[in-house]
Amino acid sequence: MPYLNTTEVDSALVNLSRAYPALCELIDLPEPSIEGVGCHAVRLGAGPAGSRDCVMLIGGVHAREWGSCEILVYFAADLLRACHTHSGLAYGGQSYSAAQVKTLLDDLEIVLFPLVNPDGRKYSQTVEPMWRKNRNPAYGNGEGDCVGVDINRNYDFLFDAATAFAPTAGVRVSTDPCDPQLYHGPGPFSEPETRNVRWLLDAYPRTRWFIDVHSFSEDMLYVWGDDQDQSTDPSMNFLNHTFDGVRGDAGDTQYREFIPKIDFDHEIELARDFRDGLQAVRGRKYTAKSAFDLYPTCGTSDDYAFGRHFVDPAKGKVLAYTIEWGTEFQPPWNEMENIIKDVSAGLVQFCVNAPSTVAA
């Protein structure tokens, strides 16, 4: 059972929705990719659309991180089959009862968008394996590295890094269309891939949890990515231009990004739940930690998803994460199978415990 090609990822979603019509709905994303590929997500859940709090999972953002799509497709397949057959689920040393699986799909919606960047994945799987960006030729000369945008720098979160961050911060982004990895595009949401993710978040306003599946480093990262977290000074936040030019330096106190204490506690709690569920499979020890480390990021999906509520309080609060699975982008398939089991177990644990972070 090798890696899925891009056609297979999409067909797998279509067939899951046909096989389990009471539990799985196919979602047409509004925009095709630059190369004209239509995109699908699926919504899992026993209730009508929009009637439950929602866990949203996206993958296949960075082209070379192949296994992210398989993780989400097979995670969906496991949940649907287990629920349909009234079974529990086991991954190595970790197991979940049939009642837990049923409760999960009764009480939640799970929206999965496994292949955000189909053009990039196809290019990586057939031409240049280390390709990361999408395949938009519009902004450079259309050749070589001057093609494509880093999808996970194209969201509307501190997009103007030169203004928002300290010159010494070393923020991981590029304004150069020929940067082989980190070009953020000409403006936030310039790319159809990011617009599709934004559309999903708008279309499922009861999304309370968001996970972007990437590789690698065996981490479960929680917000924020632009600076260290703090819960004491609400005015020190990404919307406050007073702090332009000072964000992103590690270890300083000039700026740290505000996160309400309750959200911070919940972010850590669920990240640790994921880690513990995963570790029980075969002992892999992922680290639950802040997305900010030695260097800041901007324009990423997790900060955008969590930040939406602060930009517009009418929008629900979304606890947001990035998974970094594995220790290489394209492990041999037999090891990728082990990683899929690891991460699936962590995701089930995350979903089982997620409702506890929403006030009754």
CA distances 189 to 47, 64, 293, 308, Å, are 31, 21, 25, 14
Helix (H) or strand (E) holding 9: helix 6-19
> Nearest-CA neighbor of 202 among 10, 21, 23, 30?
30
Of 209-238, binders to other proteins (CB under 8 A) are 215-217, 219
Distance CA 154, CA 156 (A): 7
Q: How far is CA 138 from CA 117, 143, 192, in A?
A: 16, 10, 13
Residue 357 CB, nearest approach to other proteins (Å): 16
**Residue numbers 148-177 binding other proteins by CB under 8 A:** 168, 170, 172, 174
Residues 107-126 that bind other proteins (CB under 8 A): 124-126
Binding range to other proteins, per CB under 8 A, among 78-86, 205-213, 231-239, 304-312: 78-86
Give the binding range for other proteins (CB under 8 A) out of 77-85, 187-195, 224-232, 259-267.
77-85
Site for other proteins (CB under 8 A): which residue of 130, 239, 262, 311? 130
Binding residue (CB under 8 A) for other proteins from 103, 139, 178, 181: 181
Which of residues 44, 56, 57, 76 is near other proteins by CB under 8 A?
A: 76
DSSP secondary structure letters along 183-227: B--SSTT-SHHHHHHHHHHHH-TTEEEEEEEEESSSEEEES-SSS
Question: Does residue 36 belong to the site contacting other proteins (CB under 8 A)?
Answer: no
Closest approach of other proteins to the CB of residue 149, in Å: 16
How many Å apart are CA 253 and CA 273, to the nearest integer? 30
Residue carrying structure tokens 């300083």: 252
- Give residues with Cβ within 8 angstroms of 246, minimum separation 6: 166, 254, 255
For residues 240 and 295, which CB has a smaller minimum distance to other proteins in the complex?
A: 295
Binding flag, residue 87, other proteins (CB under 8 A):
yes
294 or 314: CB nearest other proteins: 294
The bridge status of strand 207-215 relative to strand 319-325 is parallel
CB closer to other proteins out of 164 and 201: 164
Q: Note whether 50 binds other proteins by CB under 8 A.
A: no
Enumerate residues 253-312 that contact other proteins by CB under 8 A.
Answer: 277, 293-295
Shorter beta-carbon distance to other proteins: residue 217 or 231: 217
